[in-house]
A and B are shown apart, each in its own frame.
Chain A
Amino acid sequence: MLNNPDQIILWQYGIFKINATLAFTWAVMALLVGGSFLITRRLSVDAPISRFQNLLEVIVVEVNKQIGELSQRQPERYLPLIGTLFLFIFVSNVLAVVPGFIPPTGSLSTTTALALTVFIAVPVYGIYRVGLWRYLKQYCQPNVFMLPFNIIGELSRTLALAVRLYGNIMSGSVVAGILLSITPLFFPIAMQVLGLLTGTIQAYIFSILAMVYIASATPKSERNL
C-alpha cells in the first residue's frame, strides 16, 4: 500500500540501479523538456502568439514576479533553479492522477535530493553575490558564539524542506490507500482531487521557501533591484 518508488527496482548493476523514482523522474523531465522544445522552437515575437507559448510566458512571468517580490532582486539569476523546482514538483504531483504513475516527489530520496540542491544553492548564490568572506561572516552574526546555532539552523532548514514535501506527497498517497481499503469507490476520487490541490500548493511552497532561504543568505544591504 505504501508505494515507495525507490524500492521498485527496474534494473541493477552493482550499486547502480534504475528504480521507479528515476524512471518517473526521467519521464517528467522528458515531458517538460520535450514540451518546451516543441513550443519554443516556433516562438513568435509579435502577436498573435500560440496558446502554449502564452502559457509558458505566463509561467515564466509569474515565477519571475514571485522571485522579484520575495528577493527584491533581479529574478533572472534565480529563475532556472526556482522555476525548475516549481515545474518539476508541480508536474510530478499533477501526474499523480494518472493511473500507474508514482510521483517521484513521493520518494524521500527525491525530496532529499531537491532539499540538498537548495542547501547547496544557498551558499553558492550567497558567495557569488557577496564573496566568500562576507558570506562566512554571516554565520558569526551577531557574534561568534552563534556559529553552531546558525549551522544547526541551516541544516534543520534543509531537513524541514525535504520532509515537508515528502510528507505532504506521501500523506496523500497513504490517505488515498487507507480510504481505498475502507470506501473503495467514490471517496478516493475526491482525495485524488484534493491531492492535486495539495500537490500544486506544495510545489509553490517548496519553490517559495527555497527562494526565501537563498534570499535570506545574502546581507540585506546587498538586496537591491
Chain B
Amino acid sequence: MAIDWFTVGAQMINFLILIWLLKKFLYRPIIKAMASREQGLVDRLQGVETQMSEAEQLKKRYEVSLQQLDSDKDNILAEARRQAETDRTLQLQSLNDEMQLKKHQFSEEMHQQQQELGGVINRVIAEKTLQLGGKILSGLADQSLEQQIVEHFLQNLAKLPDAEQSVLQQALSQDDTATIISRFPLNETQRSKIRSRVDQLAPVREMVFELDNRLICGITLEAGGRSWEWNIERYLAELEVELLKPLE
C-alpha cells in the first residue's frame, strides 16, 4: 500500500491542530477543575483540622474547667462542712452559755425569792411572835409587850459595859438632842422613864420620840451620830436561819 505524502503532511497538521484544540477545550479545563476541587478539598481538610484542633483545645479547656469546678465544689463543700461544724459548735456553746446564764439567773431568782420569802416569814413570824409574846406577856404580868421592851431596853442600857457607857455619855453630852425611835407609840409613862434614865447618864436638853415601821420590834437611842438599840431582829435572824435551812 502506497503512502500518500500529501495526506501524511495534512494528517500531521490535523493532528497538531487536534492537540492544540484538545489542550484548550479538554485537558486544561479538566485539570483546572480537578486542581480547584483538590485545592477545595485541601482547604476544607485544613479547615476541618483547624476546627478539630480548636475543638480539642476547647475540650481541654472544658476539662480543666470541669476539674477546677470539681475541685472548687469539693473545697466549697469542705468549707461549708467546716463552717457548719463551727456554727454548730458556736451555737452549742452559745446555748450552753445561755443555759448556764438562765440557770444562774434562776438560781439568783430562787435565792432572791428565798430571801424575800425569808423576809416575809421573818416579818410574819415576828409579828405573830410579837402578838403571841404580847398576849403572853399581857396575860402573865398584865403589862404590854411594849412596856417589857422598854424595860428591857433600859436594863440593857444600864448593863452596858463601862467603856460603852462612857461612849454613850460622851455622845449624849455632845449632842443636845437625843432621839428615841420605836415601832409603836410610847405612852407618857414610858417616855418619862426613858427620859429619866437618859438623864441619869447625861443631861439632855431635848428628847425626840419618833416612830419607824421598819423596826420589827424594838427601840433605838440615837445621839451624837451613834445609836444603841434593842430589837428582836437578832432572834428573828436565828429563827430565819433555822426556818430556811430546810429550804436550801
Contact = CB atoms under 8 A, between A and B. Distances in A.
B14 A22 contact: yes
Given A4-B1, A57-B34, A46 B8 contact: no
Interface string B10-21: 111011111111
B30 interface: yes
Contacts of A29: 14, 17-18, 21
Nearest to B14: A25
Contacts of A45: 33, 36-37, 40
A141 interface: no
Contact of A114 (B15, B29, B40): B15
Contact of B18 (A2, A16, A21, A84): A84
Contacts of A117: 12, 15-16
Given A109-B8, A110-B7, A116-B8, A83 B22 contact: yes
Given A17-B6, A80-B23, 15 more contacts: A21-B11, A22-B7, A22-B10, A36-B21, A40-B29, A40-B30, A45-B33, A57-B33, A60-B34, A80-B22, A83-B27, A84-B15, A84-B19, A104-B11, A117-B12
B4 interface: yes
Nearest to B36: A45
A109 B11 contact: yes
B22 A87 contact: yes
B30 A56 contact: yes
B26 interface: yes
Interface residues of A, number: 46
B140 interface: no
Nearest to A114: B15
B163 interface: no
Nearest to B9: A113
Contacts, number: 119
Nearest to B33: A43
A112 B8 contact: yes
26 contacts: A6-B4, A21-B7, A22-B10, A22-B11, A22-B14, A29-B14, A29-B18, A32-B18, A36-B25, A36-B26, A44-B33, A56-B30, A57-B30, A60-B34, A79-B27, A79-B31, A80-B20, A84-B22, A104-B11, A107-B4, A109-B7, A110-B11, A113-B14, A114-B15, A116-B12, A170-B1
A109 B1 CA distance: 10
A60 B34 CA distance: 10
Contact of A107 (B7, B9, B16, B19): B7
A107 B22 CA distance: 23
Given A43-B33, A46-B37, A33 B25 contact: yes
A27 to B, nearest CB: 11
A76 interface: yes
B22 A36 contact: yes
B141 interface: no
Main secondary structure of the interface of B (DSSP, over half): helix
Contacts of A17: 6
A206 to B, nearest CB: 12
Contacts of A107: 4, 7
Contacts of A4: 1
Closest 3 CB pairs of A and B: A113-B11, A109-B7, A36-B26
B13 to A, nearest CB: 9
Interface string A27-69: 0010011001100100111100000010011001100000000
A63 B103 CA distance: 109
Nearest to B34: A57
B18 to A, nearest CB: 5
Nearest to A33: B21
A2 to B, nearest CB: 8
Contacts of B40: 45-46
A194 interface: no
A81 B30 CA distance: 16
Contacts of B26: 32, 36, 40, 56, 60, 83
A23 to B, nearest CB: 11
Interface in A115-146: 116-117
